[in-house]
Homo-oligomer: A and B are copies of this chain.
Amino acid sequence: MPPNDPLRIIYLSPVATSESDQDFADMAARYKNPSSEVHVVSLTEEDGAFSHVEYRSYQGVMTRGILRVTREAARDGFDALAIGCFYDTALEDARELSGEMVVVAPCHASIEIASSLSNTFGIVVGRRKWVPQMRATIRGYGYIDRLTGFYEAGLGVNDFQKDRVRTLDRLLAAGRKAIEGDHAESLILGCTDEAGFFEAMEGELGVPVIDPFVAALKRAEYGASLKRSVGWVPSRKWGSQAPPEEELRRFGGLDGPSAIGNRIVLLADG
């Protein structure tokens, strides 16, 4: 692909409600690089789309859909895929068969940013249920020593956008506990559905507040740009080896009609 062509990014939301797709597309339109083409897509219902993914078992079901979208996006020549769930659902699995496409996810993307702007961060979650899985993920990423803790807003995924005044209050209260109680120097919002609050929180609290949707989108652009301008694509050596195409076809588990249920396309400017 010619280096001056737009970077092509696909943002996959495991959640599939028409509202959330549009919300993400609106956010993407605001924060994307003008020269990026961004596709905001969600899974079909057959592939496990649901209004939230708070449970491990829901993620387990959606994994197959995420993998099928990964293959489709790689074949379609996307430069980078962002998996839109703060659990970083199926990130390692998707990386295995992404070909030359870079795969990123919001938790890791947010932590990289927060760590470059502060010594420690706190994560604002909706419910305590989420914590052990997220903590294990962050430990696996190697950033556990920078984490001051998890702070509950007492809201489920589907509650965040219902009463936004209440949500902001709850997020601010949780954030203050992190900052004043545990000396967090920055905050990360621990759910892509907490989108749209970070700027108000920054104004109120005076520390960086990382929005995981924006972090994942920008990290995808960064990875895509490294691929396109420098040539850095995923390793396929040793543990990064992909299944042989021939075997994948025999396996069959990733075939079938497109797993993309909904798609909103934001073209590059100009």
Interface residues of A (CB under 8 A from B): 31, 33, 45, 48, 50, 54-64, 66-67, 90, 92-94, 96-97, 102, 104, 108, 112-113, 116-120, 128-133, 136, 139-146, 179, 183, 185-186, 199, 202, 206-208, 210-211, 214, 218, 222-223, 225-226, 229-235, 237-243, 251-254
Contacts and interface: CB of A to CB of B under 8 A. Distances in A.
Contacts of A222: 218, 222
B239 A131 contact: yes
A93 B208 contact: no
Given A92-B133, A93-B60, A238 B208 contact: no
Given A117-B102, A218-B225, A185 B56 contact: no
A113 B226 contact: yes
Contacts of A142: 141-146
A116 B225 contact: no
A119 B141 CA distance: 11
A130 to B, nearest CB: 8
B239 A120 contact: yes
